[in-house]
Chain A
Amino acid sequence: MQPLLTVGLLKKYFPLDRGIFSRTKAVVRAVDGVSFELQKGETLGLVGESGSGKTTVGRCILRLIKPTSGDVLFDNMNVTRLPASELKKLRRQMQIIFQDPYGCLTPRLRIRTILKEPLEIHGIGTKADHTDRVVTILRRVGLRPEHMNRFPHEFSGGQRQRIAIARTLMVNPELIIADEPVSALDVSIQAQIINLLVALQRELGLSYLLISHDLSVVHYMCDRIAVMYLGKIVEMTTRSDLYLNPLHPYTQALLSAIPEPNTGPKREKILLGGEVPSPINPPEGCSFHPRCNYKMEACTKVEPLLEGVGDSHWVSCHLR
């Protein structure tokens, strides 16, 4: 079946400018050749530390940022080559939820204005229809209809995130990119929001690209998971496979660091030496080799490619 979203060799380099008098033009390689597919109805997780490029990938797919090179194919549209006039169509089918619920809602607008806006932009329905739809969606995300007359600052973080989710649902999108949707919330509220997202997916047939650094959230929500390091995908597979059989040393270290309750056998934590190198000057060969406990001669010279190992398990490592 044709995937809903295909990303091919996506790259985004940010130039570092130093004013008129600079000579060397260094670049930050935020995204350095990322490829994956997302099927309709599935949830793909994009995992990594801050600086791994996962947020930039999300922005590029939506074309909030213009990619440096590569292709993004969504529902028969080549997003990267889309002229600006066609972008509006895209914005109806692809939506995004941001990380900060306190910053993503326009402070001086009432909720009903914020929620009606997508409908007005895309010319869906009449004015009367708008109000009905706002009520419907508010209920669906667990809020009350009278909330639509209030301002964002009157709500708590969890509620604001619900409103943000409501905003994405207004135009019936197919794909929602959730960029760290619960990282800024209290742990107890996180569970509520995650459950909401899962329930909505079931009801509406949504597809999610979940970007997160929190492996326990990813574990709960995702069907497949891609691990990113320094702008590249180092491992990608199904959820069960990743947690039972992680192949890349980075993935193994990440998994070992998940906090766990005191009961049961203690897992041994893998410690990585060094720090994440700067994306301006990534190491030669495999970009992970300076921190890898298993590095070999080849790792310092040749960059490993993402290759299939077994049933839909991909990894880029010389150790296979």
Chain B
Amino acid sequence: MAKKNLPDAEFQENQPGQDGMGGEVKRGSLLWARISSNKMLIIGGIVVIFFLFMAFFAPLITQYSPTKMNFRAKFAPPSAEHLMGTDHFGRDTYTRIVYGARVSFQVGLVAVSIGLIGGLIFGAVAGFVGGIADDILMRMMDALLAFPPLLLAIGLVASMGPSLKTVSISIGVVYIPRFARVMRSSVLAEKEKEYVEAARAIGQSGFKVLMKHIGPSTISPMIVLATIIFALAIIIEATLSFLGVGLPPPAPSWGTMLDESRRYLSVSVWMALFPGITISIAVLGFNMVGDGLRDLFDPRSYN
């Protein structure tokens, strides 16, 4: 029986991206639509960019020095001269808050970078290689996770001596395990999929399979986590400074400002009010960006 050729099916399959009437929906506009309807992301994004601006252009938007004392202007309430009043040393609160943004951003950036890169490496190796390496690495991660983050940070900073560098590094190290976990579970999930087997079948080396094929699918959860950890880094730095084990004075950290305000609560409410509000808004902004991104990347996971 000879092979007969069946005639090719007549009708055209409807392809994704076509609206069924012969027109094509633009790919880019779909993404933009999703972003612009995501209120969390927009509002949070605005807040974050605002603080970024503040941190970057600090000298340009302030007129006073954040550290110079002026005892004649102690405890001043908000006025035209001092937008947010002054503290117990007569330093302009608004200026200190703006420079505080710089501090928080520096710490956050370094901490998140350390956490992300460290976590990426540990998590990818543990997930991809598996076996004993996975066991050992994960137990090390669990060991770090068993410490309350603040306590571990305190221990590390106190030992190394408080400074901008040590605070940033300590916070970064504290959060490596969380990144590692996320990375590892992404890698594990993707590892079993058929496209990974297909990549192996064409002869691709293990490492390249991880980087080129699995890698791109693991990025989005890491980015979401990065924003959340940034928020946590800001809080922890502020807490450390508040407790007196963070950035040494006269560094303009929001946390230090709050600590200093405690003694003078009955004299000046403003000293305590502004730094606290600032921290809250900054952290809120980052949290909203994180939530918004999570929603953007996977609408199913958010209620």
Contacts and interface: CB of A to CB of B under 8 A. Distances in A.
Interface of A: 62, 64, 87-88, 91-92, 95-96, 98, 100, 103-109, 117-118, 121-122, 153-156, 158-159, 164, 167, 171, 188-189, 191-192, 194-195, 198, 220-221, 239-240
Contact of A106 (B8, B9, B203, B213): B213
Nearest to A121: B203
A159 B8 contact: no
B contacts with A: majority SS: loop
B298 interface: no
Nearest to A156: B13
B203 A98 contact: no
Given A104-B198, A154-B15, A156-B15, A88 B203 contact: yes
Given A91-B202, A103-B193, 11 more contacts: A95-B201, A104-B197, A105-B198, A118-B203, A121-B202, A154-B15, A155-B15, A156-B14, A156-B16, A164-B198, A240-B1
Contact of B195 (A64, A104, A155, A188): A104
A158 B202 contact: no
B212 interface: yes
B222 to A, nearest CB: 14
Contacts of B200: 64
B41 to A, nearest CB: 21
B253 to A, nearest CB: 40
B60 interface: no
A304 to B, nearest CB: 29
Contact of A117 (B5, B202, B217): B202
B13 A108 contact: no
Contact of A91 (B6, B193, B203): B203
Interface residues of B, number: 28
A109 B13 contact: no
Contacts of A155: 15-16
16 contacts: A64-B197, A64-B201, A88-B203, A95-B201, A96-B198, A98-B194, A100-B194, A103-B194, A106-B216, A153-B16, A155-B15, A155-B16, A156-B14, A159-B13, A167-B202, A171-B202
Contacts of B26: none
Contacts of A189: 9, 13
Contacts of A96: 198, 201
A179 B147 CA distance: 50
B204 interface: yes
B47 to A, nearest CB: 30
B199 interface: yes
Contact of A195 (B5, B11, B27): B5
B20 interface: no
A271 B197 CA distance: 37
Interface in B3-28: 3, 5-6, 8-9, 11, 13-17, 27
Given A191-B8, A195-B5, A195-B6, A95 B16 contact: no
Nearest to B199: A106
Contacts of A188: 9, 11
A251 to B, nearest CB: 18
Contacts of B199: 106, 117
Interface-central residue, B197, B199, B201, B204, by most chain A CB under 10 Å: B201
B15 A192 contact: no
Contacts of A195: 5-6, 8
B10 to A, nearest CB: 9
A98 B197 contact: yes
Contacts of B3: 198, 220-221
Nearest to A96: B201
Contacts of A62: 201
Interface in B161-198: 193-195, 197-198
A87 B16 contact: no
Contacts of B6: 191, 194-195
A107 B193 CA distance: 11
Contacts of B27: 154
Contact of A122 (B11, B195, B203): B203
A91 B16 contact: no
A227 to B, nearest CB: 19
A105 B8 contact: no
A167 B193 CA distance: 18
Across the A-B interface, give the 10 residue pairs with the lowest CB-CB distance, nearest first: A91-B203, A108-B216, A103-B194, A188-B9, A106-B195, A118-B202, A106-B213, A88-B203, A104-B194, A104-B198
A170 to B, nearest CB: 8
A100 to B, nearest CB: 6
A158 B13 contact: yes
Contacts of A118: 202-203
Contacts of B198: 96, 98, 104-106, 164, 167
B3 to A, nearest CB: 7
B234 to A, nearest CB: 31
